Amino acid sequence: MDIKELVLKLHEINAVKLGQFKLKSGIMSPIYIDLRVTVSSPPLLAAIGDMMYRKVYADADVKASSDKPTIVCGVPYTALPIATGMSIAHNVPMVVRRKEAKAYGTKQLIEGHFKEGDNVLVVEDLVTSGASVLETVRDLKSVGLRTTDVVVLLDRQQGARQALAANGLRLHSIFTMEQLISTLVEAGKLDGETLKLVSAFLEANRSVQVPVAPKLVHKSFGERVTLATNPAAVKLFKLMESKKTNLAVAVDLVNKSEILALAEAIGSEICCLKTHVDIVQDFDQDFITQLQSIAAKHNFIIFEDRKFADIGNTVKYQYENGVYNISKWADAVTVHGVAGPAIIDGFRDGLKQKGAGLLILAQMSSKGSLCVGEYTNQMIEMGKQNADAVLGFICQEKLEAMGDNFVLMTPGIQFNSKGDNMGQQYNTPDYVIKEKGTDVIIVGRGIYQSNDPKSEAIKYRQQSWSAYESRL
């Protein structure tokens, strides 16, 4: 099928519409290409996918490259059938990008099998400004995938090619808007006043800027000291600003000697050490005394990830009494808000004595987590109503309602952003600090299972602090 035959077939199935249409870029257009209708014409859809595939892999630059795309991904939603047909016809693996992560199941934004560094061909039906393509490229990048090439059926010639090139992307198109119009004119499908209107529109809109979201203004940790009302939050903001680290390390080890040795080795690099004392097999008060000494020596806080979740009276005893006496040594503890705001009252006396703070679990990094949607919103509101007791939130992103007086900590961080076989999902330091706007990365196995934990801690500290500085 050649371009002329394709254009006339699209016109025949009413994929080419004339009138007044608002495009995603925000501009009004007298001509609209609706490729969604191609799903009702399987032979045409298959031909489109085949043409787009061959357009890319016949390109001289792609043929000469040793870094060809090995996976396809359709921009949701119109391009998904095209990418699927391309994948099946040419036996090319495919991944699916969701417009938003599910609040259930795997909760993944990118579905499919892939490995970090894979090159993904982004498939789109048409481009105007290139905004939709760049959104997809961003989300692919967030899970460690790369993109060098983009293929579309129609280039509307309104700035997308230049915008994509500025982001290091090659654009391949089957035909341009000029070719579409000339074909319709030659076939007598477009003439008179309508032709003048379309031609005038194209001439006046040769360059459509990619819509840019308002830039989020990030305050420095030093500036946020004056906003915090919880003593532990004030302490942590000051510590991070002076020590120049926003790295927390989760120490999920079961022997106190191993924990103490690791704390001594990495203490100079961290702002916070996250413990689980209930898994320490040889726990005693001497362990706490030594850990506090190391924390004072290296200037970091101790954060017990206890995840309290009972009624206020019960958590008061769990926090202030028992074998662990957590209130006597932990600068911060985690809390589930399932019991409602009254749970915070159970901590108030102990928090005041230590100058400690609560970290409310607003979101979690495990697959299938129920900490989503309205639950998350309620946790944020609970924190805002109890800002004197709440240090901050455990979360996957900064939400608009989260004020700058709170410290935002994100677990599930590794340089390798793939998950494990027990439901943990990982993000990279750059992604959560710069893209998602959180403050502190929590790294566990990526450091304590390393052959050289100190060196790994230095790498994570440098990357997370650099990401923080770059967003200011």
Q: Could you give the CA distance from residue 150 to residue 467 in angstroms, rounded to a whole number?
A: 28
97 is in an annotated binding site: no
| Cα angle value 450/454/458 (rounded, 5°) | 110
Name the nearest CA neighbour of 30 among 286, 204, 223, 175.
204
**Which two tokens mark 66?**
């040793």
The answer on whether 466 is annotated among ligand-binding residues is no
9 is in an annotated binding site: no
Instruction: Please identify every residue annotated as catalytic.
Output: 305, 307, 310
With H, G, I as helix, E, B as strand and everything else as coil, classify residue 364: coil
- Pairwise CA distance, residues 437 & 432, whole Å: 6
Handedness of CA 363, 368, 370, 373 (dihedral sign): positive
199 is in an annotated binding site: no
The answer to whether residues 295 and 268 touch, using CB atoms and an 8 Å cutoff, is no
Residue 67 assigned ligand-binding role? no
Give the C-alpha separation, 399 to 437, whole Å: 9
Q: Which of 248, 227, 231, 226 is nearest to 354 (CA)?
A: 231
Residue 414 is labelled as binding a ligand: no
Residue 130's contacts (CB-CB under 8 Å, 6 or more residues apart) are 159, 160, 161, 163, 164, 210
Task: Indicate the SS3 state at residue 464.
Answer: helix
Question: Which positions ≥6 away from 142 have C-beta within 8 Å?
Answer: 109, 110, 417, 427, 428, 431, 435
DSSP character for 210? P
In the annotated binding site, the residues are 252, 274, 365, 424, 444-445
Binding-site positions for substrate: 252, 274, 365, 424, 444-445
